[in-house]
Amino acid sequence: MTIQALTQSIRQKKSYLCVGLDSDITKIPKHLLSSADPVFEFNKQVIDATLDFCVSYKINTAFYESRGLKGWESLEKTIRYIPATHFTIADAKRGDIGNTSSQYAKAFFEELNFDAVTVAPYMGADSIQPFLEYGNKCTIVLGLTSNPGAKDFELLPAGNERLYEKVLRTVSNWGTPDNLMFVIGATRAEEFTNIRRILPDHYFLVPGVGFQGGSLKDISEKAMNSNVGILVNVSRAIIFAGEKEDFAAEAATIASQYHQEMSNYL
Q: Which residue ranges make up each domain of the chain?
A: 3-265
Cα–Cα separations (whole angstroms), residue 185 to 124, 144, 181, 238: 21, 6, 13, 18
Cα 215 to its chain centre, rounded Å, is 17
Instruction: Decide if 82 contacts 88 (C-beta within 8 A).
Output: yes
| Active-site residue list | 93
- Structure confidence at residue 135 (pLDDT): 85
Q: CA 53, CA 241: separation in Å to the nearest integer?
A: 15
Residue 18 confidence class, pLDDT cut points 50, 70, 90: very high
What angle do helix axes 247-265 and 216-223 make, rounded to 10 degrees? 40
| pLDDT surpasses 90 at 148 | no
Q: CA 242, CA 240: separation in Å to the nearest integer?
A: 5
φ, ψ dihedrals at 16, nearest 5°: -125, 35
Residue 186 confidence class, pLDDT cut points 50, 70, 90: confident
- Structure confidence at residue 211 (pLDDT): 67
Residue 17 confidence class, pLDDT cut points 50, 70, 90: very high
Q: CA 257, CA 217: separation in Å to the nearest integer?
A: 13
Residue 203 CB-half CA count within 13 A = 27
pTM here is: 0.96
Select the CATH number that applies to the domain covering 3-265 from these four: 3.40.190.10, 3.40.309.10, 3.20.20.70, 3.40.50.2300: 3.20.20.70
